[in-house]
Each structure stands twice: as structure tokens, then as C-alpha cells.
Structure 1
Amino acid sequence: MVSPIGLPYSDASFDYVHLRFLALDVPATQWQHVIAELFRVCKPGGWVEVCETDGMVRQPSPASEIVNGWMSHVAAEDGVLLQDVGTLDALMARTGFSDVNVRGLRYPLGDWAGAVGTVKYRVYRGVVEANRARVLSCVDITDEQLDHMLEEQADSLEQHQSHVMHYVYTAQRPINSSVLALPFIAPGSSPTARSSHLGPR
């Protein structure tokens, strides 16, 4: 994760900069700083790629809706707004990047979708399990209740054709560009709520 001090690299160090799957670790107040640091260490004319997912199950069953709510609640306790990962293109453009593009990739969950679905569900379940203690604490449920809900969710994936979305952002730092002096938004300040303009997922 990008620290408040910034990335430990000089300005314009890299032709290509890649960041992925930090959504659960970046508070809403920090995304501007993160994107600005990617801009800073990228060479003029170079490219940045950001791959993120909000981890929310689309086409959810009732059980998946409950788990979605639990994970969103855990993230919000850390100041993380998971929906922000669907709006990073606007932030990249404001930071000074050009040729900003976003691709939404739909990944199925569960054995019904073959090897991809099996692996993707295993990864998804691993993220939930890694946050098990936080879920139990934040939403005040027992291990048994969590296990029961996860089993209900697993059993419902095929019926609902459930999936998660990944977003792949690419952007270029303009050749004739300088590092923007963007203000750093300190942790703890009020994040600005934003709605995704990418449409239904």
C-alpha cells in the first residue's frame, strides 16, 4: 500500500506501473493520494494499469446479499468504500492522466462455471475467511452462523449464476506533463460519496 510518505521511488522512474487488489486496504480518503503517486513515479509517456474488484457478489442470492452487507460493513469500519473501485477512471482523469480506459470483467463464482468459477470462488471464499474475525466482531454473529451462511451462499451460486466484477483501468501520463501538486487528504477526514457512472453490474 502507498504510505502517507509516498512510494519509495524518484519521480518519473518507470515506463509501466501496475497496482492491483488493494481495495480493502485503501480508505476512501487515500485514493487520491494513491493515484497521484502512480502518476508521479510513471515516466511522461508511460502507462499505468490498475486492477481492482469490490468483491461484491452480483446476481446475489439472499445469502450472498447478507455476506455482501457484512463485507461492506467491515470495510466501512476502516473507512473503505468498496464502491469507489468502480469510479477510479474519473479520479485518474482529474489527476492528469490521458487516454483513461476501463474494462469491466465478469468472473463467475462456483463449480457450475468450470475451472474459472471454481478458482474464483476459492479466492473469494479466502478473502471472506481472512476477514472472519472482523466479520464476527463487527456484525456480532457466531462462527456457526457465519459458516451456515457461507454454506447457503455456496449452494446458491449456480441457481443465481452469481459473479463478481473486476475493473481494469489503463491510463497514460502525458508526455508534456509535470507532477501535479494535489492536496493530500488526511485519513479521518470526511470522504466524498460518489456514484459509479458505469451502469449496472
Structure 2
Amino acid sequence: MGNINSHLKRRRPSIKKIPEFDQMKSDQERQEKLIDFYLSTSIDSIDRQHMYHFLRAYIFQSNFSSPVEDKLIEGGYKVLDIGCGAGTWLLDLSNKYENSHFVGVDIKPVYPHEIKPNNLEFIEADVINGLSFHDNEFDFTHIENMSYVFTSDQWDFVLSELIRVTRPGGYIEVGDRRNGYVGEGPIFRKLTDAIWATYSNRGIDVKLLYNLDSKFALQPNIGKVHRVEKEFIVGPNGGKIGLVWQDMSISYFKSEISSKILSEQIEISEEEYKDMVEKLDNEFKQTSPECVHVRYWAQKQLLE
């Protein structure tokens, strides 16, 4: 379900064309070409979002885990994505499932404004202020990579809003990755610990994802909460996917905002910080840090 290989028929801003992508014969070849392509891509913040979308789809072998693909193909299905960012997930799905309708919401309008499929719309809004949609408006509501944005109390509200706007019988899905790694080296550990510390300083529970299914299950009108986990090794010891994550990580650490914030958190100079990051390449060759991604999905109960 949720085949990741969308039919990229329309030209879109920010998503780079992969040479001969359309001529590839099999799904596996397409997946491999995407990974190969991203290994040599120069990326900024938006490009990392595009890359991360394909990485997640690759490790799960799907864009979603909820059992909704048949309905999406059938058409008339309405999908909402909260915190849609650059809109990559929605662009992928809206091209593949042309007879269904998709809506993306984000507080920052970095999504495409003009060049997009007719069955896709974006709305600038903050879910914390409440969603403007009617009750029971969507068949499938989705939120991903937002577990380190909201506090625990805010998550209660966000989940309640997702459930509110989902039709009875529809599905709600939440996805992200666990904080921390297993088997990382000292440099990578120090850098990632600094990231989690900055979140904790803002009142974010970085361990929330471990128990989000319990919080999810406490919401009214929710059936069994399903949990799907996928893991991979970061760096060359993890193959192509590990190299993609390594590339994303180093790019993130080298960004101007990361250099400033994380060096302050570690209490070292920016020059010392940059020297640490330069040593990551070699450390990844000698370690096998494991990264875990999680998806939770549940069905809204039919009204009696």
C-alpha cells in the first residue's frame, strides 16, 4: 500500500528532474535511481525535506501505512496533511491518485503556490490555533515530522483536531523518528544530544514518540492504534540509505543556523563546532548508529 513511486508527470518547482527516471522499467529500479541521485545532490533546507520524503518512503516501502490506497485509487477521497512543509508528500500522492483531493496546512508557506496539480491545495495556518475545517471533512488525516514541534499538551489538542476533522471510518496517521541513536560515535552523539537539548529547553518532550500510541489511544472515538517501526544504519555501513541519511545529517549540521545554535548549546566556538562536523565522515565509517522511524495509525470509530 502507498506505492512510493509517483507518476511525476507535471513539472514542479524545487523538485529536480532525474534523468531517464520515466524510462525505468521496474519500481525497484526507480527506487534505486532516487537513492543514487540524492547521494550527489547539493541540498539546502527545502531540498532536505524532499530528500527526507523519499528516504522515509523507501524504508517503509510506502508513503503511508493506513489501509487507504484502494479508496485513493477509487477516487473521491479527501486527504489532509498537517505541517506539510514543502509539500513533497502531497505532491507525490496527488500525482499518483489523481481522482482524490489533497489539502496541505503549514504555518510557513514554503509549498508551491502556482505549479501544482489541480487536486491539491495549500493553506497557511497554525494547527495550534485550531483547524478551520468542518467536523468529519476528511477521509484520511496525516501528520509527520512534527513530534519535536509540539509540547505534550499541544499534542493532545493536535490529535483531537485531527480526529475531529476525520470522518467516522476514516484514518489518522502520525509518523516521525525516535530521538537518539544506538551505537553512535562520540561526535555524532554530542551533536545529536545538543539537538535534543535545544528541544527540551523549549519544553518539548523528546521521548514522546516512544509512547505516542498511548496518548493517541486515550482520544475519544479511536479504535486500535497500530504501530509500525523501521530502522536502518546511518553511514556507509548502512548501504545507500545510510549514506543518504549521513549526507542529510552533515548538511544539516553545516547549515548556518545549526552552527550557531548547536555551538552555543555545546558551549564551544563555531570554529570548534565546524571542526567536529568535519570529522563526522570518518566517524561514520567506523560506527553503525541505528536510526528508528515510527508510524502510528488508527481508524476513527463509526458513530452509533
Cα deviation, residue 168, structure 1 = 0.7
Aligned match of 1:37: 161
SS at match of 1:12: coil
Q: Distance in 2 between matches of 1:35 and 1:156?
A: 39
- Per the alignment, residue 155 of structure 1 pairs with 282
Q: State the AA in 1 paired with 2:162.
A: L
Report the TM-score when normalising by structure 2: 0.54
Gaps of 5+ in 1: 178-201
Query: Residue 169 of structure 1 is aligned with which of 278, 296, 303?
Result: 296
CA contact (8 A) 2:171 2:297 kept: yes
Tell me if 1:118 matches 2:220. Answer: no
Structure 2 residue 226 is the aligned partner of structure 1 residue 101: yes
Are the counterparts in 1 of residues 152 and 204 from structure 2 also a CA contact under 8 Å?
yes
Q: Decide whether aligned partners of structure 1 residues 50 and 155 sit closer, same or farther in structure 2, where only a CA change above 3 A counts.
A: same
Highest RCO, 1 vs 2 (Cα 8 Å, sep ≥ 6): 1
Say which is worse superposed, 147-156 or 56-65, in terms of deviation.
147-156
In the TM superposition, 1:4-153 aligns within 5 A as: 4-96=128-220, 97-128=222-253, 129=255, 130-153=257-280
What letter matches 1:164 in structure 2?
C
The CA deviation string for residues 49-82 of structure 1, in whole angstroms up to 9 with x for no partner, is: 1111134232111222212221111111211121
**Cα RMSD between the aligned structures?**
2.0
Matched-pair contact (CA < 8 Å) for 2:250–2:280: no
Tell me the percent identity.
21
Shift in CA distance, 155/55, structure 1 to aligned 2, threshold 3 Å: farther
**Cα distance, 1:127–1:58 mapped onto 2, change above 3 Å:** farther
Matched residue, 1:194: none
Query: Within 2, Cα distance between the matches of 1:40 and 1:11?
Result: 5
Contact 1:109 1:117 in 2 (8 A): yes
Aligned counterpart, 1:3: 127
Does the 8 A contact of 2:191 with 2:262 survive in 1?
no
Q: Would the aligned equivalents of 1:23 and 1:54 in 2 still touch at CA under 8 Å?
A: no
Q: Deviations over 1:123-179 (max 9, x none)?
A: 3334444533222333322122222222333322233211211111111111127xx
Q: 1:138 to 1:63 in 2, by over 3 A?
A: closer
SS of residue in 2 equivalent to 1:98:
coil
Amino acid at match of 2:249: Y
Alignment length, in residue pairs? 177
Q: C-alpha separation between the residues in 1 aligned to 2:140 and 2:195?
A: 32
Runs of 4+ in 1 over 6 A off after TM superposition: none
What corresponds to 2:42 in structure 1? none
C-alpha deviations, 1:91-128, integer Å up to 9, x for none? 11001321201112113211332221121222333444
Q: Check the 8 A contact 2:179/2:196 in 1, yes or no.
A: no
Matched position secondary structure for 1:23: coil
Aligned partner of residue 87 in structure 1, secondary structure: helix
Give the secondary structure class of the aligned counterpart of 2:182. Answer: coil
